[in-house]
Chains A and B, each alone.
Chain A
Amino acid sequence: EPEVTQTPSHQVTQMGQEVILRCVPISNHLYFYWYRQILGQKVEFLVSFYNNEISEKSEIFDDQFSVERPDGSNFTLKIRSTKLEDSAMYFCASNPGTVNGYTFGSGTRLTVV
Chain B
Amino acid sequence: AQSVTQLDSHVSVSEGTPVLLRCNYSSSYSPSLFWYVQHPNKGLQLLLKYTSAATLVKGINGFEAEFKKSETSFHLTKPSAHMSDAAEYFCVVSDLDSSYKLIFGSGTRLLVRP
- Do A and B associate with each other? yes
Footprint of B on A, CB under 8 Å? Answer: 31, 33, 35, 41-45, 48, 50, 55-56, 91, 93, 95, 97-100, 102, 104-107
Identify which of residues 45-90 in chain B touch chain A, using a CB-to-CB cut-off of 8 Å.
46, 49, 51, 90
17 residue pairs from A and B, CB less than 8 Å apart: A33-B101, A42-B90, A42-B104, A45-B101, A45-B103, A48-B101, A91-B43, A98-B100, A99-B32, A100-B49, A100-B51, A102-B100, A104-B44, A104-B46, A105-B43, A106-B42, A107-B43
Interface size on B, residues (CB 8 A): 21
Q: Hey, which chain B residues are within 8 Å of A106, CB to CB?
A: 42-43
CA of A42 to CA of B102, assembled, Å: 12
A99 touches B90 (CB 8 A): no
CB distance from A4 to the nearest CB of B (A): 10
* Interface class of chain B by DSSP: loop
| A95: nearest chain-B partner, CB-CB | B100
State whether B102 touches A45 (Cβ < 8 A): yes
Binary interface profile of B, 1-37, with partner A (CB < 8 Å = 1, else 0)?
0000000000000000000000000000000101000
The complex places the Cα of A27 from the Cα of B20 at a distance, in Å, of 37
The 8 Å CB contact of B106, one of A42, A97, A98, is: A42
Q: Tell whether, in the assembled complex, residue A56 and residue B98 are in contact, meaning their CB atoms are under 8 Å apart.
A: yes
Residues of B within 8 A of A100 (CB): 49, 51
Shortest beta-carbon distance from A74 to chain B in Å: 19
Asked whether A56 lies within 8 Å of B99 as measured between CB atoms, the reply is yes
Interfacial chain B residues near A93, Cβ < 8 Å:
102
A99 and B94 contact, Cβ closer than 8 Å, known pairs A45-B102, A48-B100, A48-B101? yes
CB–CB A48/B98 < 8 A: yes
- The complex places the Cα of A99 from the Cα of B104 at a distance, in Å, of 14
Shortest beta-carbon distance, B25 to chain A, in Å? 14
B100 x A99 contact (CB < 8 A): yes
